[in-house]
Structure 1
Amino acid sequence: MTPPTTDLTALARPRGAASTGDAAAPTSGIARPRPRWVTRWGIPGGIVSLAFVLFVYVSADALWPATDVRIVKVVAKSGVGGTAAATVQAPGWVEADPYPTVVSALADGVVAEVLALEGARIKAGDVVARLIPDDARIGLEKAAAELAERESALRFAEATLEAAQREWDNPVELTRRVASAEAALAEREAELHRWPSELAAAQAVAAELGAECARIERLHADKQASEIEFIRATQRCESQRATVASIEARRPILQAQLDAARAELAAAKENLRLRIPEKRALDEARAAVASAHAAVDRARAARDEARLRLERMEVRSSVAGVVMTRLVEPGSKVMQATDNPMSSHVVRLYDPGRLQVRVDVPLAEAAQVSIGQDAEVVVNVLPDRVFRGRVTRVLHEADIQKNTLQVKVAITDPAAELKPEMLARVRFLSTDSATGASSDLSVFAPEAVIRRDDGGNPYVWLVDSSARRAQRRAIKLGTAKQDGWVQVAEGLQPGDSLIVDPPASLRDGARIRATGDTRSKQ
């Protein structure tokens, strides 16, 4: 069975009928309202666009990161304008101030190796060359052996002095001689005292024998004694008389011996008092010790000299500087005592922080130059840089051949690029210009922030504070300089922010962010 079909055409709304009003009213004469595009599409689109712009602004640092840079401000200074008037201009040559320093070998020898070449920077105490040390080493060994020998001789002399001093303090031998002399004198005195009794005894025996001899002589005359008895009695009597005579003759001898003993005792006592040989031996021992000490000192000095000579086989610099000239090579012989004063020179140094210009000022203009006068120095290798200088010396002898007077101008702010013997030109400033009579303000920027393009034209990287972007700007430099700051004649204004050490990838218009303000000494 087919379901019934419902006819809905009666409910359809005619085109152009009003959207409001009576539903039962006729619709043939009512117009449809126009659509509202502003409220339907404009306002929502504006809201979305504004939200997108805010999103981009807030996320700009993340989407396009800025480059961190350090900045420094441009400053203005008065009385330092670069228009100072020059009274005299003259050519010259850069040289060491006040003169180069020579490093010399302090001992004779042959160069084994040179360690410092031209342009090398050395410090005080550095070895610049070495000499062949064989002779010096042998000389040191010989001097050490001589010192040992002298020290041994000193010990021997000290032992001799000690023995002489002990003998002086304890005169045993002299005391023994005095005692022996006293004993000998006592013996002689005893013998002399015994002599009379010996003489009396001998005389008594002689008298007895004389009586006996007279008795035997009478008996012999009466034939009562034999001839032998008579002869024996006579001989005994004569022998005793000779003994008596001998004893009588001994008295002068005994007296002489006594006098000799007394003299010997006196001499022994005088020797004990004077002690001349012992005093001489003691003095000689002391002199020998002093001489040995002197010999040891001489040997020690010779040893130290030999050691110093060995140490001086390494030629060391006493000052710091840069090697300007090398004067020797391996195999060269350096000597001290020669007619050539340069025979011991090894290298010549200069201090790059102390340079001057040797200027030949024409005699016609020499009167306008004085000691203490300010000057400007321009070196040929750096024509765009002007160095400040001051006259330190005016030589008192003119060069009649060149018709000039030599003047020394010290460079107060030398650069590392300056080298001795570079050609330069010096402008001697007038007194009014040098003292800064002008009060005009000049713009100065740090010399370190100035760059140059391939054509040598200077430029800087400037900070556009309103847009926080880097801006490359060409500038024109002046001639004045002060403590690392250079005058900018055109292109900058006081207070401008300059980028310090910009990265190589920095481009004009690049976004930047300042991380700090570098404060340089002005």
Structure 2
Amino acid sequence: MIPGLILLAIASLIGYTAKDALLPAKDVRVIPVVLKAGVETGATSAVQAPGWVEADPYPVSVSALADGIVTEVLALEGQMINVGDVVARMIDDDAKLALARAEATSLEKRASLKAATANWDNPIERTRAVANSEAMVAETKADLEKLHADVAVEVARLVSMKLEAERTAESFKTRASSEIETVRSQQSYEAQKAVVDATKARRPVFEAQLAQRNAELTAANENLRLRIDEAKALAEAQAQLALATAARDEAALRLSRMEVRSPASGIVMQRLAAPGDKLVMNMDDPHSAHVVRLYDPSKLQVRVDIPVADAAKIGVGQDARIVVAVAPDRTFDGKVTRIVNEADIQKNTLQVKVAISNPSADLKPEMLARVRIVTGGATTRSTGDQTVFAPLDLIQRNGGEATVWVVDPRRNVAVHKSIVLGETQQEGWIAVMSGLSPGDQLIAEEAENLTDGQRIRVVGEVSTPNLKRNGNDHGPH
């Protein structure tokens, strides 16, 4: 039994090691790369560094605008949110009661203003006071007129009594009247004099009274014109109504803020609240009122950690090429937009922001990226080192990326490789600065529909025009 198991294990091992040979291989024809020494090459200065995708220029935090307890969260990670969408709701019972109280107070103050306005428009008491004062003035003037008549009557009576007293006195001398009649007549005269004096003495009193009542009439008219108390009451009622209206609007605003709405459109990057959480404003924690964080998928950038030694080569506006781990076969164009003016002493790097020109929907914040920043124009140099050349016709271009199909002779498979081209071209060939090595064979025919890692079998080389070579150059013959 044991020998059988040993034979089975040996057969399995042989089958596993020979599985590649048993798989069907695609026949291809190739062209070897060419080496040439002492050529003029167009080298482009560049700096490469790792980075992380992030929102450009920063994520947007959707915050509650009032304190409250969360009852419902309507936005989850990865969800698209539009401006004004409700992302969360909070308990609103207290806010509803506060609004009802504020509305009742507003109605009360509106009624007070209506009454104050009516008092202002219809100054009944002020008008009555003026009318009363006018009546009192008229009454006093009538009393003065009557007093004048009374004085005239009493003076006339005094004159009559004086004549009677004088006649009686003369008659007494002739014994025509008695002494008693004479004395009585004289006393009546003296009494009438006192009446006249008393009647005349009433004039200053009436005049003073008239002056007082004229003053009261003037004051009543002025009060009617100014209406100070009514104006104050009207202004206070208007102010009280304004305060009540503001309190009502504030209560309505707080009630509306029990629904947390997004101020911007974007994809939810992070959810920061859940039902039962308390959202509090004006706290030391900057996220105490935040519900979610958003990013705009059409505006992404890469924060790149540039070594301090290369920082002097970086400038705003420089072009960049970006490769993200999620799509290693695709290159994104970018541009340096900002340089953070503080180095990281721990990593000995300087942070640079590179905006992605046309970000893909596959890109997400915090994805790892590799950025190549073009720090200078092409420089032409003559070198004695050997330079690899490849046929232009075999180079595939996708945006700013150049690729070729290369034979892996160890595994006999096709490999899709990215290369960096120079600027020197000769007779249909172009200098390759990196990505190819001497001896590499490029798949020239039957390259259509190849997949990376597919088994192939080289059946021959394709004849191409020879590149003029110097000395020890190697290439197809």
TM-score bracket, shorter-length normalisation: 0.5 to 0.7
Say if 1:360 and 1:405, in contact at 8 Å, map to a contact too. Answer: yes
Structure 2 distance, partners of 1:109, 1:445, is 52
- For residues 335-373 of structure 1, what are the alpha-carbon distances to aligned partners after superposition, in whole Å with 9 as ceiling and x for unaligned? 223343332211110011111111111101111111111
Match of 2:17 in 1: none
Match of 1:310 in 2: 255
Report matched runs for 1:156-171 at 5 Å.
Answer: 156-164=115-123, 167=126, 171=130
Match of 1:335 in 2: 280
Structure 2 distance, partners of 1:366, 1:187, is 114
Q: Does 1:415 align with 2:360?
A: yes
- For residues 384-430 of structure 1, what are the alpha-carbon distances to aligned partners after superposition, in whole Å with 9 as ceiling and x for unaligned? 22222111000111112221111001111211121111122211124
Match of 2:342 in 1: 397
Q: 1:247 to 1:169 in 2, by over 3 A?
A: closer
State the AA in 2 paired with 1:432.
Answer: G
Match of 1:112 in 2: 71
Match of 2:47 in 1: 88
Shift of 1:125: 0.9
Once structures 1 and 2 are overlaid, which stretch shifts more, 158-167 or 402-411? 158-167
Match of 1:197 in 2: 156
State the AA in 2 paired with 1:426.
Answer: V
Say if 2:71 and 2:90, in contact at 8 Å, map to a contact too. Answer: yes
The equivalent position to 1:382 in structure 2, one of 322, 327, 330, is 327
Q: Greater Rg, structure 1 or structure 2?
A: 1
Match of 1:373 in 2: 318
Shift of 1:269: 3.7
Other structure's SS at 1:432 match = strand
* Number of equivalent positions: 361
Match of 1:268 in 2: 213
Match of 2:372 in 1: 427
Other structure's SS at 2:151 match = helix
Structure 1 distance, partners of 2:331, 2:143, is 113
Shift of 1:250: 3.2
Q: 1:213 to 1:146 in 2, by over 3 A?
A: farther
Report matched runs for 1:29-68 at 5 Å.
Answer: none
The equivalent position to 1:188 in structure 2, one of 141, 147, 158, is 147
Structure 2 distance, partners of 1:393, 1:101, is 19
Q: Does 1:177 align with 2:136?
A: yes
Shift of 1:97: 0.4
Say if 2:46 and 2:376, in contact at 8 Å, map to a contact too. Answer: no
Q: 1:389 to 1:185 in 2, by over 3 A?
A: same
Match of 2:246 in 1: 301
Match of 1:121 in 2: 80
State the AA in 2 paired with 1:250.
Answer: V
Q: 1:431 to 1:264 in 2, by over 3 A?
A: same
Once structures 1 and 2 are overlaid, which stretch shifts more, 286-295 or 318-327? 286-295
State the AA in 2 paired with 1:92.
Answer: G
State the AA in 1 paired with 2:322.
Answer: V
Say if 1:168 and 1:282, in contact at 8 Å, map to a contact too. Answer: no
* The structure with more strand, counted as a fraction of residues: 2
Say if 1:115 and 1:127, in contact at 8 Å, map to a contact too. Answer: yes
Match of 2:231 in 1: 286
- For residues 35-56 of structure 1, what are the alpha-carbon distances to aligned partners after superposition, in whole Å with 9 as ceiling and x for unaligned? xxxxxxxxxxxxxxxxxxxxxx
Other structure's SS at 2:49 match = strand
Report matched runs for 1:235-246 at 5 Å.
Answer: 244-246=189-191
State the AA in 2 paired with 1:153.
Answer: S
Shift of 1:280: 7.1
Structure 2 distance, partners of 1:490, 1:134, is 74
Say if 2:51 and 2:368, in contact at 8 Å, map to a contact too. Answer: yes
Structure 2 distance, partners of 1:108, 1:491, is 69
Q: 1:242 to 1:142 in 2, by over 3 A?
A: farther
Other structure's SS at 2:377 match = helix
Q: 1:200 to 1:146 in 2, by over 3 A?
A: same
Shift of 1:285: 1.2
Structure 2 distance, partners of 1:238, 1:107, is 107
Structure 1 distance, partners of 2:291, 2:378, is 45
Q: 1:339 to 1:243 in 2, by over 3 A?
A: farther
Shift of 1:199: 2.5
The equivalent position to 1:132 in structure 2, one of 91, 101, 109, is 91
Other structure's SS at 1:262 match = helix
Shift of 1:303: 1.0
Which runs of 5 or more residues in structure 1 are unaligned?
1-82, 220-232, 435-439, 447-473, 481-488, 499-522
Shift of 1:167: 4.5
Say if 1:475 and 1:491, in contact at 8 Å, map to a contact too. Answer: no
Structure 2 distance, partners of 1:388, 1:111, is 42
Q: Does 1:324 align with 2:269?
A: yes
State the AA in 2 paired with 1:351.
Answer: D
Structure 2 distance, partners of 1:161, 1:153, is 12
- For residues 245-297 of structure 1, what are the alpha-carbon distances to aligned partners after superposition, in whole Å with 9 as ceiling and x for unaligned? 44322344322321222233344344444546624762321232122112212
What TM-score do the two structures reach when normalised by structure 2? 0.66
Match of 2:9 in 1: none
Structure 2 distance, partners of 1:287, 1:115, is 52
Which runs of 5 or more residues in structure 2 are unaligned?
1-41, 380-391, 400-413, 421-441, 450-477
Shift of 1:121: 0.9
Other structure's SS at 1:340 match = coil
Shift of 1:173: 2.4
Shift of 1:211: 10
State the AA in 2 paired with 1:399.
Answer: D
Structure 1 distance, partners of 2:94, 2:443, is 70
Q: 1:353 to 1:204 in 2, by over 3 A?
A: same
Other structure's SS at 2:362 match = coil
Match of 1:3 in 2: none
Q: CA RMSD in A?
A: 3.8
Shift of 1:184: 1.0
Q: 1:377 to 1:238 in 2, by over 3 A?
A: farther
Q: 1:445 to 1:342 in 2, by over 3 A?
A: closer
Higher relative CO (Cα under 8 Å, sequence separation at least 6) belongs to 2
Say if 1:86 and 1:427, in contact at 8 Å, map to a contact too. Answer: no
Other structure's SS at 1:368 match = coil
What TM-score do the two structures reach when normalised by structure 1? 0.61
Other structure's SS at 2:346 match = coil
Shift of 1:152: 0.8
Shift of 1:84: 8.1
Structure 2 distance, partners of 1:407, 1:377, is 13
Structure 2 distance, partners of 1:416, 1:491, is 34
Match of 1:147 in 2: 106
Other structure's SS at 2:122 match = helix
